[in-house]
Amino acid sequence: MIDLHHPVRDPQSAGHESPTGPVPVVVVGAGGMGKTWIRTVLDNDAAVLVGIVDVMDGAAERAVSELVPEHQRSAVVTGTDSATVARQAAAEAVIDVTIPAAHHKVTADALHAGYPVLGEKPCAATLAEAVSLAGHAETTGRLFMVSQSRRNNPHLGETRRLADELGGAGIVDTRFYKAPRFGGFRDEMEHPLIVDMAIHAFDAGRVLIDGNPVAVTATAYNPVWSWYAGDAAATVTITYDTGAVHTFSGSWAAPGAETSWNGDWQISCERGSVHWDGEEPPTARPEGGEQHPGRAPAPEARWELDASLSEFCAALRGGPVPASEVHGNVWTQAIVEAAVRSAGTGRRVLLAEVLDEALDAARELDLADGRSRALSTWKTGISGLTTT
């Protein structure tokens, strides 16, 4: 079971009531995304920034001078070591915005130091590391939530509500066509679209569809005009244990008529259909009826990173366990792994297959690490994710 209580900052205070008010947090990682998270914390009344960490000397200090209002700077501890800064700052939680290759170590170390963690997606660099972190969360009893921020879009929630009114999502079709010229690491990735972008659509599909994914079939390819080295286009079909099917098709080398960054969604239900263009409120068309718009978000609605942070802090103050707690989020990363494998082999890939292999590899990681034996109780990869 996951214990949502905070680490005890003063050993003599053990047994006292849980803290209330804004959650003091340390942001680990002061790069581009780290700065975005720092701004999010500064603007969110559920959290208070007490520390910034970056392995590059001076990076945390520069982030403070650039982003933190002058009157607050003295209250923000900086440094290159997460545990040291978190302790000195009297933090209650850590936000891990490091590069994916560092997620496993940074998050595991924070959990074992007693700090709940909110991590930027992906959960970890590999599925095995993600499963391992689920085990570390179980061992420590601390919350590890992954910020899959695009699921926290009020329009997506309204799309789900409209689909439920029409009998529930049975067929979900996502079109995604953009032509960004990022430069840098994405241009060199083997599967830039599936790994770096489609993960958002896979996770959003899980918001719309009941049940768990069962199998994935994928084709990946690269248009002849593409400026990417790897496959910048793909078609992925995900089947669920409820019988629902989610199909994603898209390209990151698609100039011309582009979709929104959230894609274009068509949901077929028993008694009608729902459409969402990824930007405006969705619309529903019942069978034999007229199309009608969904509800616009409330003025106080939280969006994306801000919503992730609010949900995390609410959980630490007695609220429910977030849907993207690590055990829930691993499913999304497993879909990505299965899609990449299917694209490479040309066969249908079962989620049970990739999760069992990841569990075996994660046990080896944990054996070498020596701090977590939780995975030894998992009978299979799927059972470990569904029985916690």
Q: Are strands 264-269 and 144-147 parallel, antiparallel or unpaired?
A: unpaired
213: in domain? yes
Give the lowest-confidence range in 85-94, 111-120, 297-306, 350-359.
Answer: 297-306
Q: Do residues 143 and 3 both lie within one domain? A: yes
Residue 18 confidence class, pLDDT cut points 50, 70, 90: low
Measured CA to CA in angstroms, residue 88 lies from 9, 24, 82, 108, 179 at distances of: 10, 12, 10, 19, 45
Q: Do residues 15 and 141 both lie within one domain? A: yes
Say how far residue 176 (Cα) sits from the centre of its chain.
Answer: 19
Residue found under tokens 């007693």: 114
Average pLDDT over residues 31-38: 95
> What CATH number is attached to the domain comprising 189?
3.30.360.10
342: in domain? no
Give the lowest-confidence range in 17-26, 83-92, 149-158, 338-347.
Answer: 17-26
- For residue 290, pLDDT over 50 is answered with yes
Instruction: Give the range of the structural domain holding residue 238, as residue numbers without chain letter.
Output: 154-293
Question: Based on the structure, what is the number of domains in the chain?
Answer: 2
What pLDDT, in 10s, does the model give residues 252-261? 999 999 999 9
- For residue 14, pLDDT over 70 is answered with no
Write out the H or E segment, with its range, that includes residue 345.
Answer: helix 326-345
What pLDDT, in 10s, does the model give residues 205-239? 999 999 999 999 999 999 999 999 999 999 999 99
Confidence (pLDDT) at 13? 38
Q: Do residues 246 and 160 both lie within one domain? A: yes
Of residues 382, 343, 330, 353, the one with CA closest to residue 127: 330
> Which residue, of 276, 293, 310, is where some domain finishes?
293
Q: Do residues 204 and 286 both lie within one domain? A: yes
> Strand pairing partners for 249?
175, 235
339: in domain? no
> What CATH number is attached to the domain comprising 61?
3.40.50.720
- Residue 101 DSSP one-character state: H
Q: Do residues 145 and 277 both lie within one domain? A: no
Q: Do residues 248 and 264 both lie within one domain? A: yes
- For residue 6, pLDDT over 80 is answered with no
> Which residue, of 274, 293, 312, is where some domain finishes?
293
The rounded distance, in Å, linking the Cα atoms of 320 and 293 is: 30
Confidence (pLDDT) at 388? 52
Confidence (pLDDT) at 11? 32
242: in domain? yes
End-to-end CA distance of the chain: 6
The rounded distance, in Å, linking the Cα atoms of 243 and 222 is: 31
Average pLDDT over residues 315-338: 96
Confidence (pLDDT) at 305? 94
Confidence (pLDDT) at 5? 43
- For residue 45, pLDDT over 50 is answered with yes
Q: Do residues 358 and 215 both lie within one domain? A: no
Residue 71 confidence class, pLDDT cut points 50, 70, 90: very high
The rounded distance, in Å, linking the Cα atoms of 312 and 326 is: 12
- For residue 1, pLDDT over 70 is answered with no
